[in-house]
Structure formats: structure tokens, C-alpha cells
Amino acid sequence: MLEMQHIGKVYRTELVETHALRDFSLRVNEGDFVAVTGPSGSGKTTFLNIAGLLETFGDGTYRLDGEDVSGLSDKQRSRIRNQKIGFIFQSFNLIPDLDVADNVELPLRYRRLDRGERKARAERALELVGLASRTRHLPSQLSGGQQQRVAIARALAGEPRLILADEPTGNLDSLMARQVLDLLEEINARGTTVIMVTHDPDLSRRAHRNVHVLDGRVTDFKPYDPVPGGLAAGAGA
């Protein structure tokens, strides 16, 4: 699904150069559920931005779904984001002026789908997250957990191959966090690849694979743990 080789990313200001990623290599297979962990400033978010084509990178190669994306134009990258990737952000990033349904339909609009198709898909996605009854609410009228579920519905509506989640439970209490994680697992179970950035070991334990990032490098793999006890441990924490 995703293959990064020797990726380097340097942020330059007038005074300093920061190597956010160096010689970063990672391969994620189709259908994986990967947790990316690491302390703040380790390069997790940079990895996520590059993986999601939100940022370009300097060295190395990156193949997404078999396609080399290093030389693509802004417009082509927008199209790939729109069609293959679903984003879930830590602070939800719902558009405050749009109601729930409009928020979920937004990526479909950018795909130029017609109105009927958009509505149908948005409805399905909202049903999946259990918010089908709230379509005309504004984000400000929802709880944090509900907002994040809308955001997940928005990420799912485009039926992406890859879900990128950035600390999806960072702004939620533990009960809501668990609901969100349940949803991600459910999505993954249907065959969608999920990459989740988190600093919470309890969450990462529920992924098939853990990738630890330190100083812009992948330092540790934790292979897929087939024992479903991880689930119980996470819930109990």
C-alpha cells in the first residue's frame, strides 16, 4: 500500500536546519493497522504529512498504492488525497459553518460527484458512525466524541484505500476515545489500511503493528500481536 525509502525532510529557517525525518523507510501493507508512536518532536507528524501528501519531501522515494508520488504536481496530489486518503485529525477540523451532512459531503464535492451520489454516500458513512440522525446539526452543537465521529464519517465517505489518523483521541475522554478506536478497528476490518499516529501506548497496543519514531528515524517495529488480549488491556487502562 505504502512504501517509503530513505525519505529525508529538512525544515530550513534562516538560522537553523531541522532534520525532521532522515533516512526514513517504512512499508505498510494493504489492510494493515499501523500505530506510529514516538515522543513529541520525533517526526511523527512530519511522517503523517508526507504520507498524506500534505507536504513534499527532499530525498528518497515514496510509492503510494504502487504509484511514485515524489514528482507530482500540487493538483495531482490534491486528487490523490481526495480519492485514496481519508484524514482524521486530532482537533477534528470540522468546518464550523457547515452542518454535519455538508461536512461529510465535502470531499465528495471536490471529487465533483453529483448531489444524489454525495447524499447517499454521506448517509451511509454517517450511519456507520451512528450519527445518521444528526445530519442538520452544526459542529458546535455536538460533543467532542460526536464531532470526531463526524470527522471519521467524512474520512470514510470517499471510500479511501488509506486512513491517516493523527492523534484521533487526543482531545477526547477515555470513553469516547474507546468508541473512536472501535470504529477504526471496524473500518480496518473491512479492508481499509489504517495508519494512526499516537503517543498513547494503550492505543498503539490495539494496532497490528507499531512503528516507533525517534529523531526522524524508525527505530523499532513491534510485530503484529495476534493475541486479542491487547484489546482488553487497552480498555482496562
What whole-number distance in Å separates Cα of residue 87 and Cα of residue 74?
18
Comparison of 80 and 211: residue with beta carbon closer to another protein: 80
Q: Among residues 87, 90, 107, which one has the least CA distance to residue 98?
A: 107
Q: How far is the CB of 214 from another protein (least distance, A)?
A: 19
End-to-end Cα separation, the chain, in angstroms: 32
CB 108 within 8 A of CB 121: yes
Comparison of 17 and 97: residue with beta carbon closer to another protein: 97
Q: How far is the CB of 199 from another protein (least distance, A)?
A: 12
CA angle 158, 75, 154 (to 5 degrees): 20
What whole-number distance in Å separates Cα of residue 37 and Cα of residue 28?
15
Burial letters 70-88, b for 16+ CB under 10 A, else e: eebeeeebeebbbebbbbb
What whole-number distance in Å separates Cα of residue 85 and Cα of residue 103?
16
- Look up residue 1 and give its amino acid: M
Strands 59-64 and 2-12: antiparallel
Q: How far is the CB of 224 from another protein (least distance, A)?
A: 26
Q: How far is the CB of 221 from another protein (least distance, A)?
A: 24
Comparison of 50 and 205: residue with beta carbon closer to another protein: 50
What whole-number distance in Å separates Cα of residue 234 and Cα of residue 75?
40
Q: How far is the CB of 78 from another protein (least distance, A)?
A: 4
Q: How far is the CB of 229 from another protein (least distance, A)?
A: 32
Comparison of 18 and 78: residue with beta carbon closer to another protein: 78
Which residues here bind another protein, judged by CB under 8 A? 45, 48-49, 52, 54-55, 74-75, 78-79, 81-83, 87, 89-91, 93, 95-99, 102, 106-107, 109-111, 154, 158, 166-167, 170
Comparison of 82 and 146: residue with beta carbon closer to another protein: 82
Query: Position of cell 452543537?
Result: 141
Comparison of 113 and 231: residue with beta carbon closer to another protein: 113
